[in-house]
Amino acid sequence: MKAIVQTKFGSPLDVLKLGEIDTPTPGKDEVLVKVHAASIHIGDYYTIAGLPYVMRPMFKAMRAKNDVPGMDVAGTVEAVGDDVTQVHPGDEVFGSHKGAFAEYACFPERSLVTKPANLTFEQASTLGVSALTALQGLRDQGEVQPGHKVLITGASGGVGTFAVQIAKAMGAEATGVCSTRNMEMVRSIGADHVIDYTHEDFTEGDRRYDFIFDNVGSRSLSDTRRALTATGRLLANGAQVGGWFGGLREPIAAFASSLFVPQQGRPFVSTANPEDLAALKELAEAGKLTPVLDRTFPLDQTPDAVAQVGEGHAQGKTIISLEKAN
Ligand SMILES: NC(=O)c1ccc[n+]([C@@H]2O[C@H](COP(=O)([O-])OP(=O)(O)OC[C@H]3O[C@@H](n4cnc5c(N)ncnc54)[C@H](OP(=O)(O)O)[C@@H]3O)[C@@H](O)[C@H]2O)c1
Centre of ligand 1 to C-alpha 158, Å, is 7
- In this structure, the answer to whether residues 51 and 134 fall within a common structural domain is no
- In this structure, the answer to whether residues 117 and 31 fall within a common structural domain is yes
Best mutation site among 138, 152, 159 for ligand 1 pocket (most ligand atoms within 8 Å of CB): 159
Tell which atom from ligand 1 comes closest to the C-alpha of 179: 41
User: Residue 191 belongs to a domain with what CATH number?
Assistant: 3.40.50.720
User: Residue 99 belongs to a domain with what CATH number?
Assistant: 3.90.180.10
- In this structure, the answer to whether residues 63 and 82 fall within a common structural domain is yes
Does residue 81 sit within a domain? yes
Does residue 155 sit within a domain? yes
Q: Give pLDDT, residue 325.
A: 56
Among 258, 278, 307, the domain-final residue is 258
Q: Give pLDDT, residue 258.
A: 77
Dist. CA 290–CA 219, nearest whole Å: 29
- Output the residue whose Cα is nearest ligand 1's atom 20: 312
Q: Rounded to the nearest 10 degrees, what angle do helices 42-49 and 302-310 cross at?
A: 100
Centre of ligand 1 to C-alpha 178, Å, is 10
- In this structure, the answer to whether residues 192 and 77 fall within a common structural domain is no
Q: Give pLDDT, residue 248.
A: 79
Tell which atom from ligand 1 comes closest to the C-alpha of 177: 33
Q: How big is the CA angle at 226 (ends 223 and 227), to the nearest 5 degrees?
A: 105
Bridge pairing between strands 209-214 and 149-153: parallel
Dist. CA 142–CA 59, nearest whole Å: 28
- In this structure, the answer to whether residues 110 and 173 fall within a common structural domain is no
- In this structure, the answer to whether residues 105 and 153 fall within a common structural domain is no
Q: Give pLDDT, residue 60.
A: 92
Tell which atom from ligand 1 comes closest to the C-alpha of 218: 31
The set of residues, in sequence order, having a beta carbon less than 8 Å from that of 275 and lying 6+ positions away, is none
Does residue 272 sit within a domain? no
- In this structure, the answer to whether residues 115 and 135 fall within a common structural domain is no
- In this structure, the answer to whether residues 100 and 143 fall within a common structural domain is no
Domain tally, the chain: 2
Q: Give pLDDT, residue 221.
A: 87
pLDDT tens string for the chain (326 positions)? 999 999 899 999 999 999 999 999 999 999 999 999 999 999 999 999 999 989 999 999 999 999 999 999 999 999 999 999 999 999 999 999 999 999 999 999 999 999 999 999 999 999 999 999 999 999 999 999 999 999 999 999 999 999 999 999 999 999 999 999 999 999 999 999 999 999 999 999 899 999 999 999 989 888 999 999 999 999 999 878 777 877 777 778 877 877 877 777 778 889 999 999 999 999 999 999 999 999 999 999 999 999 999 999 999 999 999 986 55
* Host domain of residue 215: 130-258
